[in-house]
Amino acid sequence: MISENFFNQIQQQLNNKLPFVVYRKPNDTLVKVLLQNTDEVHIVKDYSEKGFVFAPFDTNKEVVLIPLNISSLLQEDFVMSSVVETSYLESDDKIKNKEKHIELVQKGIDGIKEKQFQKVVLSRCEKIKLTEIDCINVFKKLLQKYPTAFVYCWYHPKIGLWLGATPETLIKIEGSRFKTMALAGTQKFEGTLDVNWQDKEKEEQQFVTDFIVDSLKTSVKNLTISNIETIKAGNVLHLKTTIKGILDLNLLNLKQVIKVLHPTPAVCGLPKESTKQFIINNENYNREYYTGFLGELNFQEKTTRNTNRRNVENNAYASVKHISNLFVNLRCMQIIEKKALIYVGGGITKDSIPEAEWQETVVKAEVMKKVLQ
């Protein structure tokens, strides 16, 4: 169980207006926190840095780093207690939001029919007024409610405060081994994973798999592509394909892999550049860090060949591995004073029905709304 002192230190950091990130990886119990000791904004230059990265959707904007060498790293196990279902808050302007989103989706469908692009992910930002907000408490609720997600609370006094519970890995790299996923297609979870998927969802997910495989196949070895599976993420189901391989680091280093992958068609579209422009020109709001990525960059892990042996010679077999564990920033919100800005979107294809796409964003928004009360 996490001691109250652990969370008090985070609260103290927030009160002192100093940057921090607190997070827990999917299916893990270890909660880690990095407390940066100054309020300076650090920027990633070439991805050789060590620390926690926080990257926006727009690749022309800077990627923020909480560097390991100027931060205290604390970690504690978090034991789940039972989850209490709560009612949730709604925004005041639902009708206007719906009209605007349906109009945007229709524009996307028209773009596809006019052959400007094949798929585009369109999103919206929903504002919820709060009477009060206790971010640490919201983070605790996220830990409890979403054990299979990457759960985080990130703060920088010069940038903002974000919280989320994302189901999507951008990439995990251990030495030269990598693992990524094509996650797309959504339906509401109704008590079972044994569901049928429509062609629309299958196609939008296949676009993502094909894009990842095509982008990496000439620069990796032992590429393996799993079968498509149905996974549960909070109150929704998605289609997921796992893609693994070994990078040839002379052809593709971490910076280049990220450049190739981000943003994937799970959050942007196909082709990448024209859909990115369409999103920036038409969504009518700034995504900022939503659909960007975040996570550990070049963390060191000591591995020993035989962990049972207690003798000192065993240390001769120890090697240090660099591990990066990056996630796509989905199912997230930004807290500004007493307002929560919830970011949600969905993949649009030629077969999309605007009303159904709106409904999908309503269901996805519940993931954050459920932890706000």
Ligand X SMILES: C=C(O[C@H]1C=CC=C(C(=O)O)[C@@H]1O)C(=O)O
CB 220 to ligand X: min, Å: 23
CB of 179 to ligand X, least distance (A): 17
Residue 135: CB minimum distance to ligand X, A = 21
Tell me: does residue 344 bind ligand X (CB under 6 A).
yes
Distance of CA 80 to the CA centre of its chain: 22
Task: Closer to ligand X by CB, 108 or 345: give it.
Answer: 345
Closest approach, Cβ 291 to ligand X, in A, equals 6
- Compute CA distances 65 → 41, 327, 337, whole Å: 8, 15, 23
Q: Which of 21, 64, 183, 270 binds ligand X (CB under 6 A)?
A: 183
Q: Which is nearer to ligand X, 159 or 363 (CB)?
A: 363
Segment interacting with ligand X (CB under 6 A) among 71-79, 152-160, 180-188, 303-311: 180-188
Nearest to 82 by CA among 4, 144, 1, 26: 144
Q: Is 184 in the site for ligand X (CB under 6 A)?
A: yes
CB of 288 to ligand X, least distance (A): 13
**Helix H or strand E encompassing 273:** helix 272-282
Determine if 266 is a binding residue for ligand X (CB under 6 A).
yes
Nearest to 176 by CA among 236, 271, 252: 252
**Which of 62, 60, 47, 52 minimizes the C-alpha distance to 19?**
52
Q: How near is the Cβ of 121 to ligand X at its closest, in Å?
A: 5
- With binding defined as CB under 6 A, does residue 275 bind ligand X? no
Q: Per-residue DSSP letters for 115-160?
A: TS-SEEEEEEEEEEE-S---HHHHHHHHHHH-TTSEEEEEEETTTE
Residue selected from 185, 234, 245, 354 as contacting ligand X according to rule CB under 6 A: 185
| Residue 347 in the binding site for ligand X (CB under 6 A) | yes
Determine the interface stretch with ligand X among 17-25, 26-34, 303-311, 345-353 (rule: CB under 6 A).
Answer: 345-353
Which one among 119, 145, 172, 238 touches ligand X, defined by CB under 6 A?
238
182 in helix, strand or coil? strand
User: Token pair 């909480």 is at which residue?
Assistant: 66
Residues with Cβ within 8 Å of residue 68, at least 6 apart in sequence: 34, 50, 51, 299
The torsion angles phi and psi of 77, rounded to 5 degrees, stand at: -80, 140
- When the beta carbons of 111 and 346 are compared against ligand X, the nearer one is 346
- DSSP for 216-246, please give it: HTTTEEEEEEPPPEEEEETTEEEEEEEEEEE
Q: Site residues (CB under 6 A) for ligand X?
A: 121, 123, 168, 183-186, 238, 266-267, 330-331, 344-347, 364
